[in-house]
Structure 1
């Protein structure tokens, strides 16, 4: 089975990640309501990378994608809450691969005792890479940018697990851009995704399991309605 407009090349890292996410129950198919109120045939919940083995493998995918991307950064920042675990796990994996960088994260509420403040971990300095699971509306990224700049450092890029490649919807207002495109074009930050909706479609197109293959036309129809390209 083929899908129109899919790239002919195979991104093995992305497809391996999609396979891992499906097998882990993190990427599911069915009928799900998104934050934008859309009914989606698939759902990605990074919170279900919920044991040591899965988290370690996830960190490996982030680290390999980052190293292949060539993006230059001096430290990692993980926005509360999912980003905290992701940043620490990726920092460990990068160090294992020979790239030892400091990391920090924020609290949702400022601490009024001890060292105080909202930032925890290494002091903010240099070029800061933000790590999160997805970019839905860009709110978390904008909040992270403000924290990083206030601390005197420079946000340089964002790393995410999955780029849904669909138009953003903020406060009920539809955009012509995806949240990722907005971050790239309006905020000037490079976005490094392990996999995209295009990779997910390619994964489904290669399935011999009819139960999974059956979702290919549904996901393709969703992309045709809400998708962005480029």
Structure 2
């Protein structure tokens, strides 16, 4: 995984909390765990928030050094992310084409499941998080079927916790699985460690009060 610039990660966590995208309480995850925090990228739901989010993705990607020719956004959240990040990269002088997929193939017009620029060259997959790696594997299959090469994955938040496969807890996280088993570098804007640092240094007592629960969760499920 790429080396993050800590100030950028801290800035992102603060932004996600302020935007109500990163919330604290008790939330049940897909793995059935009770998590003290929840990240819902679908709540970056207006132009200003989406624009700032795209800025974090673009700056993190540029810092990561991952070389790519185009962006691919898996349906559904990846579609908006791919478009927004492509706009921001172009603004920063890195104009890249982008494409995305439909959930169901279209049988009229241009047809097929892929929309946007031709999928070719080195393709970067962009999504909000990696939960089980399923979306990444599906994206890889579509990219390879088009004759292109998956070259990396960009996400907003790495939960840095043990994955669950077929009901069994793995010693590795979903991000580690993608990095090691699928041989793809993963660029994350921030991780659970950055969230903990934010909670431990914030000037807000109400937000800082969640540090203990998040630390306990990481001690139990972290990698």
TM-score bin, normalised by smaller chain: over 0.9
- Pick from 99, 105, 108 the counterpart of residue 110 of structure 1: 105
Aligned residues: 220
Question: How big is the shift at 1:171?
Answer: 3.2
Question: How big is the shift at 1:10?
Answer: 7.2
Q: Aligned ranges for residues 79-90 of structure 1 at < 5 Å?
A: 79-90=74-85
Structure 2: gaps (5+ residues): none
The reply to whether residue 217 of structure 1 matches residue 216 of structure 2 is no
Question: 1:170 maps to which residue?
Answer: 165
Q: Aligned ranges for residues 201-212 of structure 1 at < 5 Å?
A: 201-212=196-207
Question: How big is the shift at 1:208?
Answer: 2.3
Task: Give the superposed CA RMSD.
Answer: 1.0
- Pick from 42, 67, 75 the counterpart of residue 72 of structure 1: 67
- Pick from 144, 151, 158 the counterpart of residue 149 of structure 1: 144
Question: How big is the shift at 1:140?
Answer: 0.1
For 1:171 and 1:80, the matched residues in 2 are separated by: 24
Question: 2:52 maps to which residue?
Answer: 57
Moved more, 130-139 or 163-172: 163-172
Question: How big is the shift at 1:210?
Answer: 1.5
Q: Normalised by the size of structure 1, how large is the TM-score?
A: 0.94
For 1:60 and 1:203, the matched residues in 2 are separated by: 20
For 2:86 and 2:156, the matched residues in 1 are separated by: 15
SS at match of 2:12: helix
Question: How big is the shift at 1:88?
Answer: 0.3
The reply to whether residue 93 of structure 1 matches residue 71 of structure 2 is no
For 1:76 and 1:208, the matched residues in 2 are separated by: 38
- Pick from 135, 141, 145 the counterpart of residue 140 of structure 1: 135
Question: How big is the shift at 1:169?
Answer: 1.1
Question: 1:127 maps to which residue?
Answer: 122
The 4+ residue runs of structure 1 with deviation greater than 4 A are none
Q: 1:76 to 1:177 in 2, by over 3 A?
A: same
Cα distance per residue 1:56-114 (max 9 Å; x no partner): 00000000000011110000000000000000000000000000010000000000111
The reply to whether residue 186 of structure 1 matches residue 181 of structure 2 is yes
Question: How big is the shift at 1:209?
Answer: 1.6
The reply to whether residue 196 of structure 1 matches residue 179 of structure 2 is no
Structure 1: gaps (5+ residues): 1-8
SS at match of 1:159: strand
